[in-house]
Each structure stands twice: as C-alpha cells, then as structure tokens.
Chain A
C-alpha cells in the first residue's frame, strides 16, 4: 500500500488502491453514521424513529423541539430532568474520588523500586476487565450487607471503583515520561516533598490527570448495570432512564437525550485531544 499513487501504477494497482480506500471509507461511515443519525432524528415533529416525508422535503413543519421540551419536563414529567440531576451528582463525586486516590497511587507506582508492582497494577486495572454484571452482582450482595445498597454513597463508591483503572492508566502513562531529576532538583534547592509535588510535578502531569478524570467521569456518566443493581429509585441516572425507556416502551425523548449526550462526548473528546497535544508539546514529542 502506498500513501499516494505513483504515475506509473498499473491498472491492477489503481483498482487495489481505490478499492482499499473505498472499503476504509465505508468502515468510517459505519463508525460514525449511527452516532450522527440521531441528531437530525431528534428534531422530528412526530413520534417516529425514522425520517418522515416532511423531514425529507426539508419542510420546517417536519421539525420541532418537541422531544427536547419533553426532556425538560414541559409535559409535566420531570423524570428525565431528575435523572440528569442525579447523574450530575454521582459522576463528579465518583470522579473526584477516583482521581484523587488514583493519582496518588499512580505516583507511588511510578517510583523506581515498587515491590509487587505488576500484581498491584493488575489488581487496580481489574475493574475495567471484570464484566459489569459480575461486579454489580457482587456489589449488590456486599453493599446490602453493609447497608449501602440503594444509597447515593453506594453508587458513588461503586462508580469510583470503576473509574480507577482509567485514572491509573492515563496518569502512569504521563508519569512514564516524567523526568524525575526535576523533583530531585527541586529537593536540592530546598523544596519539601509537598511543595515539590504541587509546584513541579503536578503542573507537568496535570494533562494526564485531567484526561484520566474525564475518562472516569464518562465511565460513571454512562454506566447502567451497577446503578440498576446497587441503586434504587432514588438514584435513577440518565443511562438508567434511557435503558428502561429502551427496554419497555421506547419513547422518542431518548433521541433528544442521545443528542445531548453526543454533544457532551464531542466536548469531552475535544478537551482530551487538546490536552494530549499540549502535553506532547510540553514534553517535546511533537512539533505541532
């Protein structure tokens, strides 16, 4: 395969070149189409999940903000808004917990001589690998026995555990390229460990910490199974509401919610990408 087609390419090479690109184009389409399709569909004036003839004619009559108004509770049903509010309590709290504990542990694990490093890493990353249904069933049994089941604290604790692998992965990756002589230099000049951490190390690893935090946030913000089992009616989150809505009677408000979530993920992706480039630039890895 070549990046550009040379002028002397044979017909066979040309066919191969274009076929390859068309195939990749189709895969990209497959990747992005389902996500983008929900956006126009969410403005449907009807309660349908497909394009109405009015929409295809681009008739303004065919479009409306009806589903968004339903989301905001204009039809008197505030369950979506309440779920959104719960999500906005649970996700940041869980993120805070996993980022603070995770960053500390990642710094510990990045020291040169850590006993059982591999085992500890394997343990800390396992919440990402163990199927959610197993984690949630276990959490249901255990949290019930310590009366955390059905409480906000229980759900936050559970989500924090799920977010930890992401914080550990991103922060240790950032720390692996961190020049430890900087902390030694700071210590040499009389800074105590706490000052060194906040003035020297933290600013440099901050991009990694933030992207780890965003991963942890989206993990909690998107999580259903744990909430279904560990939570109760008081902890209904947005994904819970969507899951129930999709399983029982599929309500078109889901389209509006999906669009809002797509916008949020675009914002998060942009932030993470910007942070990544910034940290690469800081470390002199990329000219951009």
Chain B
C-alpha cells in the first residue's frame, strides 16, 4: 500500500473500517431489494402457491365430504384393525356392531351418502349400498341386537361382501394413496395392488395421448414456424415489422375468439367444407371433434410462441456467415445444415419447450374442438372435478401433470433462463 503512515484498516468517513462499512451498505441494499419484492411474494404465496399446496393435499387426504373417513367411522376402524381380508372370512361380530353404531351417527349428520360415494370410487356398488341401507340401519338399536352380522346382512346382502369390507379397511386412514393408484390405472383388490385390465387403463392412455399430441403440435409449429422466422429475420426491418403484425395479432387475440373461429371454419357446414364442396368434391370432410381439429387449431394458437423466440435468435446471426460458407464452396444445403441451423438451436429449444409446456396443459381448445378422441388430460381433470365430483382423483391427476410441467420448466430454466422469456 502506498500510504505508509496508517497501518490499520482503511476507514470510511464515519470512522468505521471501510470493509465493514461496505458490507453494511451491501446488506442494506439486499434488504431493500427484498423489501420491495416482499409484498408480491406474499401475494403470490397466498393467491397461488397455497392453492397449489391445497390441491396437493387433496390428492392424499382421505375425506368424505368435508370430514376425514376415520373421523366418521372411528369404531369400525378400530375393530377392523386386526382383521385380515386375505383369510376369506368376514370381519368379527364386533366390527358389524361398530358399523351399526357409526352408520347411525353418520346418518344423523347426513354423511352416509358422502361416505358411500367415497368408497364407491374404489369399489363400484358401495354408494348404492350405503344409500339404501340408510333408513333401515338408522332404526336399529344396538343394545337390543344379539347378532349384528345377521341383522346387517338382512338389511342388504352386500354387507356380506368381503370385498366391500376390504375396501373400508384399506381406506380407513387419514391419508390415502388410492387416488394416485387410480390415476396410474391401478386398483386394490383383496390380493393386493394390481394394474387394471389393459382396456380399462384410461389415464395412461390419456396421458400418452396428451404427450403425443403436444409433441405433434410442437413439431408442426416448428416445421412451419422456422421458415417464417427465418424470412422475418432476413427481411429489411421495415418489411419485417409489418409482417410481424400478422404474427402478433393472433398472439393478442382472445384464445376463445381463435378457438371459436376454428370451430366455425372446420364444422361440417362451415366455410372450409363449403369451399371443398364448391371445388367439386362430394364428401364433406370431418375436420372437427377429432384429433385433426385439435392439431390444426392448436398449431395455429401456439405458432406465435414458436416464431417469436426463433426470430429473436435468428436476428442475432450475421447473414455474412452464410455468405462466407457459400464462398468457401459449401452448397446451400451444407451451408444451412452446418452453419445456420446449429446457431438457431437455442431458439428451437426455447420455442419447442415453451410450446410443449403450454400445449400439455391446454384445456379450452381440446374441450371445444376435440370431441371424444381429441381430449387432453386437462379435460379429464375438469370432468372428474365438475361432473363426477371426485376431487381427490382430479387432484392426483393434476399433481402428476404438475410434476411433468415443473420438470419441463426446470429444463427450460437451465437451457434458456426464465429471465430470457420475451413477449412480443
């Protein structure tokens, strides 16, 4: 150090060591940055993260209505603890007696139908058993009954069905894995967990279809988006800005407008079929309510998400590289494949991942133009949720889908960086 008169640490104006002073300033800066971010973080936590968390919880909670199953059937759960369904024998007399006690309480709180519906998700038929037994069991008096087993089976033969009791035992905890089992097309039988018959594995099929169609749509957007992005990057700025409007307008137009436009265009009596007939063909094409319709409409809707990242990458590639390659003797194909294309791969990665992530979660377009064989997993989740009311299964399917999307999001972040997402 040049200054030889002071041999202590360098001091700031207020007399504290400079190092300490700087560290304090840095700390203050960090705190200020976090303070500015804090309100939004709290907001996102409450309005977005906690809802997601509550969905994750739903997928493992064993509830009927708003209450946990073991809270509705406390005595039955206790009595079934020592019972082993694989012996092939019905539960003990005490378990039947406990069932009458708990059932009466549930009937009083109007919970027995919800309970039946809960077990019905596992074993069809239990909903009607619980509903039908309601009034009769509620009139029983446990103190007067000598043979609870016979009495209950007398109400409904199904109380003698060992599979039903096995289902109750298997789903007597506060938490359950049965929704995930259902989501993976497995079921619990007396012999243990088994996969369903191959023709009943609807969720696997649906998941694969969602991934396959999303992949196909991603490929289509890339195949037709790449040349367009190239043209836009190559044209003079004034022309490309003008043509860019044709890409940005769909991007800004309501998703529902675009979906309804496709629904109107593609339908049997729609504009495209009318032109087709006017061209002299006799059969109307079936373009809607199938996978073809979904691919056509979703490729259109997601195309801007492919073109924009491709464009921003291609814009940075100097056109002189291609010219240099050609002047060194490369053919057009070689120059493209070995010089231009490798430099656009970051754009392809960014665009393809973004389109794929968005496509996997699509709901509205498949719902409106997909028909029966063009629906995605989202549509099934919505159906489970709103029509069948099996919220646990909807949550389990949602969690699986969330895991897939978050994995892709992680890859996207590593590859592209989230701060590099561009809009318009």
Contacts and interface: CB of A to CB of B under 8 A. Distances in A.
Interface in B233-257: 234-236, 243, 245-250, 252-257
A127 interface: yes
B194 interface: no
Given A37-B271, A126-B409, A224-B364, A265 B252 contact: yes
Interface in B39-74: 39-41, 43-44, 47-55, 57-58
25 contacts: A1-B231, A16-B332, A27-B224, A32-B246, A32-B249, A32-B250, A34-B265, A38-B260, A41-B264, A50-B270, A50-B271, A104-B40, A108-B35, A126-B48, A127-B44, A129-B405, A132-B378, A137-B395, A138-B398, A173-B422, A211-B424, A225-B382, A247-B367, A247-B368, A250-B263
A245 B421 CA distance: 34
Interface of A is mostly: helix
Interface stretch (B96-104, B115-123, B174-182, B355-363): B355-363
A80 interface: no
Nearest to B243: A28
A158 B402 CA distance: 18
Contact of B300 (A2, A31, A120, A129): A31
B319 to A, nearest CB: 8
A109 B33 contact: yes
Size bracket of the B interface: 35 or more
A3 B323 CA distance: 12
Nearest to B45: A123
A213 interface: no
Contacts of A31: 246-247, 249-250, 300, 303-304
A109 B43 CA distance: 16
Interface stretch (A59-67, A181-189, A253-261): A253-261
Interface in A1-52: 1-3, 16, 20-21, 23-24, 27-28, 30-32, 34-35, 37-38, 41, 48-51
Given A3-B234, A130-B52, A215 B256 contact: no
Nearest to B364: A224
B278 to A, nearest CB: 10
A194 to B, nearest CB: 13
Nearest to B232: A24
A123 B48 CA distance: 10
A123 B41 contact: yes
Q: Say which size band chain A's interface belongs to.
A: 35 or more
B263 A246 contact: yes
A35 B261 contact: yes
A218 B250 CA distance: 13
Contacts of A41: 264, 271
A266 interface: yes
A113 B418 contact: no
Given A108-B37, A115-B30, A137-B391, 17 more contacts: A1-B322, A3-B234, A20-B227, A31-B303, A35-B253, A37-B271, A107-B36, A113-B33, A118-B418, A122-B409, A133-B361, A137-B395, A142-B50, A161-B48, A172-B419, A242-B256, A269-B248
B267 interface: yes
B217 interface: no
B381 interface: yes
A274 interface: no
Nearest to A272: B424
A3 B235 contact: yes
A129 B357 contact: yes
A284 interface: no
B391 A132 contact: no
B293 to A, nearest CB: 12
A138 B254 contact: no
Given A35-B250, A132-B363, A246 B260 contact: yes
B26 to A, nearest CB: 6
Contacts of B234: 1-3
B107 interface: no
B381 A133 contact: yes
A218 B254 CA distance: 8
A38 B254 contact: no
Nearest to B361: A131
Q: Most A CB atoms within 10 A — which of B225, B249, B382, B386?
A: B249
B168 to A, nearest CB: 25
A50 B252 contact: no
Interface string A156-167: 011011001010
Contact of A51 (B50, B254, B271, B332): B271
Contacts of B332: 16
B36 A108 contact: yes
A164 B42 CA distance: 13
Contacts of A229: 385-386
B413 interface: yes
A105 B51 contact: no
Q: Which 8 A-B pairs have the closest CB atoms?
A: A131-B361, A108-B36, A138-B51, A138-B55, A105-B40, A142-B51, A34-B261, A108-B37
Contact of A121 (B253, B263, B419): B419
A250 to B, nearest CB: 7
Contact of A113 (B26, B264, B386): B26
Interface in B89-138: none
B352 to A, nearest CB: 15
B34 interface: yes
A129 B401 CA distance: 12
Nearest to A124: B44
B205 interface: no
Interface centre among A1, A23, A169 (most CB of B within 10 A): A1
A38 B34 contact: no
Contacts of A72: none
Nearest to A267: B252
A258 B303 CA distance: 20
Given A161-B43, A172-B419, A141 B58 contact: yes
Nearest to B25: A113
A138 B52 contact: yes
A145 B54 contact: yes
A102 interface: yes
